[in-house]
């Protein structure tokens, strides 16, 4: 019996082709995930541990993550040309993460100092301002504002749309304001110690405004420190105003005058050395095929990905 259909009537419909990211991209994402996992582990330990060593552990994890990210940044020079339409490993994204981690390292110092009462208020105000600068720069890098003109408009659009209305964008905004509030708090302490009570009150007013600018949706990321800082600002305002009303009688500068008195930010944690991957990640074969392994070993050059 003749077949109901013949080969000329058969139509083979190919499924839609899916663009698969390059092998470099996959390995790069693995390293990026490793860096983010280090940060997440440090944050989890910080929240759950009651040990006084938890601040040191968090700093160590942040420095370790920065080291891995710096390694990834070096690889991004070559990766960006192949996967420029994917923002995850774009140089601006990795630079933003490195900058954010640097700010977090300095903010962690503030947390530790508040908990343990170490370091001078003058130094801590500058450390806080440095953290605020880093959080602001990280936000710009993520949004693509500092992206160079060498990339495509598509890349810039992807980078610009990377942050809006998500948790990271809110956290960076909150962390910057939070760091500024801490800086103003420490500057108020320094001014009061110098007898400049009016200036100290102005700093506290600015600190309260910066803290109030932290939206409720993002403040949760900074609890319980936000509550402690607010309580300190309210208590100090009451004390300093009473001192000024009864003893000092000093004028209280306005907000713009206060900002002109800001010191420069101070970096106290240097850049971390680049991470050195384990030997198992150093080399992979350039191509994968069903060819004879021995022949491929003899004829195919090996390529360094990491």
Q: Name the E strands within the chain.
A: 283-285, 302-304
Report the Cα 229 to chain-centroid distance in Å. 22
Q: Looking at the domain assignment, is residue 289 inside a domain?
A: no
Query: Virtual CA dihedral for 203, 260, 109, 230, nearest 10 degrees?
Result: 20
Residue 199, both tokens: 């200036």
Q: Tell me, what CATH number does 198's domain have? A: 1.25.40.280
Q: Looking at the domain assignment, is residue 218 inside a domain?
A: yes
Q: Looking at the domain assignment, is residue 219 inside a domain?
A: yes
Q: Looking at the domain assignment, is residue 303 inside a domain?
A: no
pTM assigned to the model = 0.79
Count of domains forming the chain: 1
CB-based contacts of 122: which residues, under 8 Å, 6+ apart? 186, 190, 263
Residue 221, both tokens: 């990321």
Q: How many CB atoms lie within 10 A of CB 292?
A: 10
CA distance 190 to 209: 19
CB-based contacts of 70: which residues, under 8 Å, 6+ apart? 98, 271, 272, 273, 274, 275
Q: Looking at the domain assignment, is residue 263 inside a domain?
A: yes
pLDDT at 79: 52
* pLDDT over 90, % of the chain: 44
Q: What pLDDT, in 10s, does the model give residues 34-83?
A: 999 999 999 888 888 888 889 899 999 999 999 999 998 887 644 545 55
In this predicted model, which residue has the larger pLDDT, 144 or 298? 144
Q: pLDDT grade, residue 214 (50/70/90)?
A: confident
Q: Looking at the domain assignment, is residue 204 inside a domain?
A: yes
The residue segments making up the domain with residue 261 are 21-283
Q: Looking at the domain assignment, is residue 135 inside a domain?
A: yes
In this predicted model, which residue has the larger pLDDT, 161 or 214? 214
Place of tokens 């990491």: 306
Q: What pLDDT, in 10s, does the model give residues 111-157?
A: 888 888 778 999 999 999 999 999 999 998 887 644 444 444 444 44
Stretch (H or E) spanning 170: helix 167-193
Q: Is beta strand 302-304 parallel, antiparallel or unpaired with respect to 283-285?
A: antiparallel
Residue 288, both tokens: 């994968």
CA distance 143 to 139: 6
Residue 24, both tokens: 């470099």
Q: Looking at the domain assignment, is residue 15 inside a domain?
A: no
């Amino acid at each position: 019996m003749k077949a109901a259909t013949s080969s000329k009537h058969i139509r083979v419909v190919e499924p839609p082709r899916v663009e698969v990211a390059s092998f470099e991209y996959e390995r790069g994402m693995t390293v990026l995930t490793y860096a983010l996992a280090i940060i997440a582990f440090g944050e989890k330990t910080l929240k759950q541990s009651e040990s006084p060593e938890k601040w040191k552990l968090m700093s160590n994890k942040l420095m370790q993550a920065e080291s891995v990210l710096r390694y990834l940044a070096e690889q991004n020079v070559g990766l960006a040309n192949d996967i420029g339409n994917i923002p995850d490993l774009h140089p601006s994204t990795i630079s933003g993460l490195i900058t954010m981690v640097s700010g977090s390292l300095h903010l962690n110092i503030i947390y530790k100092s508040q908990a343990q009462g170490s370091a001078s208020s003058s130094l801590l105000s500058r450390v806080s301002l440095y953290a605020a600068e880093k959080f602001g720069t990280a936000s710009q890098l993520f949004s693509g504002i500092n992206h160079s003109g060498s990339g495509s408009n598509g890349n810039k659009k992807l980078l610009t749309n990377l942050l809006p209305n998500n948790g990271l964008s809110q956290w960076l905004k909150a962390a910057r304001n939070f760091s500024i509030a801490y800086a103003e708090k420490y500057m108020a302490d320094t001014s009061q110690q110098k007898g400049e009570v009016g200036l100290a009150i102005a700093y506290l007013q600015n600190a309260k405004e910066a803290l109030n600018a932290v939206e409720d949706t993002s403040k949760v990321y900074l609890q319980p420190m936000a509550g402690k800082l607010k309580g300190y600002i309210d208590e100090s305002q009451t004390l300093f105003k009473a001192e000024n009303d009864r003893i000092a009688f000093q004028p209280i500068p306005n907000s713009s005058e206060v900002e002109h008195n800001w010191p420069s930010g101070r970096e106290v944690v240097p850049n971390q050395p680049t991470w050195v991957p384990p030997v198992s990640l150093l080399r992979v074969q350039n191509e994968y095929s069903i060819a004879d392994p021995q022949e491929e070993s003899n004829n195919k050059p090996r390529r360094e990905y990491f």
